[in-house]
């Protein structure tokens, strides 16, 4: 199978300001500024004084026929950058593609072309398709500073986007990056809006659906604020950072893959926006829809099953809220030519028993192996979602998908397909029966006898992150009880694994302030809002 890649049309660079006094030697400054280009000039630099630069102003850097825009930082330490040098952060340096010491020119940058549209949005105006196209191109090309990005994110969150603006934003995000074409009429995907620890259903849905014969090229993200993403968990089992040509070959042979999507450069503006949305904890419906659907359309998907969990500590906490979000997703998907099936699921608690890459990989393999100790909630949810994807097959009657998915899992065909994908991507040794977990542990116990009436998704995820997940794959939280379970006073509710004493102590302190569990009477367990 050959996947066709459509590249965005680059805009021409501005004129190179190569005046003699602006030539400086480039220096790679080993600082990760996370999706922002940052330049460093010494306060004693002649160019800094002559050009009238100020800290946090925007500068334009040219070298070897390439150019970038960057936010200026001023330094006083020769160890960071000398007075005859121009320092660049990791991402900025990589974009220019030159060696240390290469001569570069630097000058005051003109404001991004879309700044007028941004100011209008800040004033509460409705923007046009062309406005969003201009803003998103500037964002994708790193023409916006973090301050300007924050202004755009907050403006869209505060005044909210109407549904046509959400479509304009989604379309613009697709247009500024690569777009894949698998040359098949049915290319499926499955996505969850997030917020539920565990919930590693994609690693089960992909082998089930691929074994059915449908094309399922799954590219996933790494965790940013969660204890594990699909790519983090799959990386416990196999390599996930693969070139696009290699992925296409795996998809051709096995009808599916489970890989990190970062190398594909799909909807790159979304990655930049996430760098400010996540620290601000802003995840407005419009921005969520544009983020998810732009990635799916860019990846070449034609059909998508979308999981919206509802629960007291989920992203979506009521059925009316879920239905409003469903309608917005359906409107934009229809405008983008994407067939969408929205599934509302139980988000009252984590899905599966493990929270953290190794623990979640253990749960996935237990389900695939039909192990009696496999978490049943993970198995049942994965089967329901896989069934809905299978029902995109025109030869499958509505309602038959669940039974087909169950037969594929029970027969071992899903396990065989997963093992084949793991081998093709580059297998890593993993023993799901005796997984290598963080050796430092402590247990959180029930303060009283009763029934588990509540599990705080956010707090359990936070404790797992403090224990080291996902950067330390062996770290995380192993849940020993779920909603409705009867527990005795002093019975362990969950076990925390860490590899470093500091991480263990951070997690211990967080669980001491709030365990994330509520113990009460059986009639206090909240009912699920589920619409399968």
The residues assigned a catalytic role are 283
Report the candidate in 133, 477, 58, 511 with the shortest Cα–Cα distance to residue 290: 133
CA trace torsion 131, 135, 138, 143 (10° rounding) = 130
Compute how many other C-beta atoms are within 10 angstroms of the C-beta atom of residue 288. Answer: 19
Report the candidate in 230, 300, 220, 228 with the shortest Cα–Cα distance to residue 260: 220
Alpha-carbon distances of 522 from 75, 408, 483, 525, rounded to whole Å: 61, 36, 10, 6
| CB neighbour class for 114 (10 Å; exposed up to 12, middle 13-18, buried from 19) | buried
Report the candidate in 349, 391, 267 with the shortest Cα–Cα distance to residue 8: 267
Report the candidate in 357, 389, 412, 480 with the shortest Cα–Cα distance to residue 192: 389
What are the tokens at 478? 């192993």
How many CA atoms lie within 13 Å of 343's alpha carbon, on the beta-carbon side? 20
**In whole angstroms, what is the distance from residue 152 CA to residue 134 CA?**
13
| CB neighbour class for 83 (10 Å; exposed up to 12, middle 13-18, buried from 19) | middle
**In whole angstroms, what is the distance from residue 496 CA to residue 370 CA?**
26
| CB neighbour class for 185 (10 Å; exposed up to 12, middle 13-18, buried from 19) | exposed
């Amino acid at each position: 199978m050959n996947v066709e890649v459509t590249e965005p049309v680059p805009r021409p660079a501005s004129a190179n300001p190569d005046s003699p006094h602006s030539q400086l030697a480039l220096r790679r400054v080993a600082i990760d500024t996370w999706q922002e280009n940052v330049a460093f000039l010494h306060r004693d630099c002649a160019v800094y004084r002559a050009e009238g630069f100020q800290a946090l102003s925007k500068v334009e850097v040219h070298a070897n026929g390439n150019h970038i825009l960057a936010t200026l930082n001023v330094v006083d330490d020769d160890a960071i950058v000398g007075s005859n040098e121009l320092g660049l952060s990791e991402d900025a340096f990589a974009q220019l593609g030159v060696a240390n010491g290469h001569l570069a020119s630097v000058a005051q940058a003109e404001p991004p072309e879309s700044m007028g549209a941004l100011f209008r949005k800040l004033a509460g105006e409705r923007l046009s398709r062309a406005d969003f196209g201009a803003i998103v191109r500037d964002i994708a090309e790193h023409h916006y500073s973090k301050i300007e990005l924050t202004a755009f994110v907050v403006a869209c969150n505060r005044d909210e986007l109407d549904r046509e603006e959400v479509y304009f934003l989604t379309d613009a995000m697709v247009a500024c990056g690569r777009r894949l074409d698998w040359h098949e009429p049915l290319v499926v995907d499955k996505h969850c809006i997030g917020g539920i620890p565990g919930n590693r259903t994609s690693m089960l849905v992909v082998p089930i659906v691929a074994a059915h014969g449908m094309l399922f090229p799954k590219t996933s993200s790494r965790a940013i604020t969660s204890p594990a993403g699909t790519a983090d968990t799959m990386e416990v089992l196999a390599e996930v950072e693969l070139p696009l040509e290699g992925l296409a070959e795996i998809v051709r042979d096995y009808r599916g893959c489970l890989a990190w999507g970062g190398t594909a450069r799909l909807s790159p503006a979304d990655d930049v926006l996430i760098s400010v949305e996540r620290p601000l904890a802003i995840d407005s419906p419009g921005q969520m829809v544009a983020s998810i659907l732009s990635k799916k359309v860019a990846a070449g998907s034609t059909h998508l099953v979308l999981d919206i969990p509802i629960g007291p500590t989920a992203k979506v906490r009521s059925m009316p809220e879920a239905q409003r979000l469903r309608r917005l997703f359906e409107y934009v998907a229809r405008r983008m030519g994407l067939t969408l099936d929205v599934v509302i699921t139980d988000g009252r608690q984590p899905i599966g028993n493990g929270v953290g890459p190794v623990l979640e990989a253990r749960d996935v393999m237990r389900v695939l192996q039909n192990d009696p100790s496999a978490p049943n909630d993970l198995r049942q949810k994965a089967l329901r979602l896989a069934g809905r994807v299978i029902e995109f097959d025109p030869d499958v009657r509505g309602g038959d998908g669940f039974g087909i998915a169950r037969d594929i899992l029970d027969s071992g065909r899903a396990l065989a397909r997963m093992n084949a994908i793991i081998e093709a991507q580059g297998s890593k040794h993993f023993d799901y029966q005796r997984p290598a977990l963080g050796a430092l542990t402590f247990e959180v116990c029930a303060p009283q006898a009763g029934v588990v009436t509540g599990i705080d998704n956010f707090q359990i995820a936070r404790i797992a992150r403090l224990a080291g997940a996902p950067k330390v794959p062996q770290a995380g939280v192993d849940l020993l009880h779920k909603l409705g379970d009867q527990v005795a006073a002093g019975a362990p509710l969950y076990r925390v694994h860490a590899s470093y004493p500091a991480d263990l102590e951070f997690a211990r302190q967080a669980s001491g302030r709030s365990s994330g569990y509520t113990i009460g009477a059986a009639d206090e367990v909240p009912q699920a809002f589920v619409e399968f």
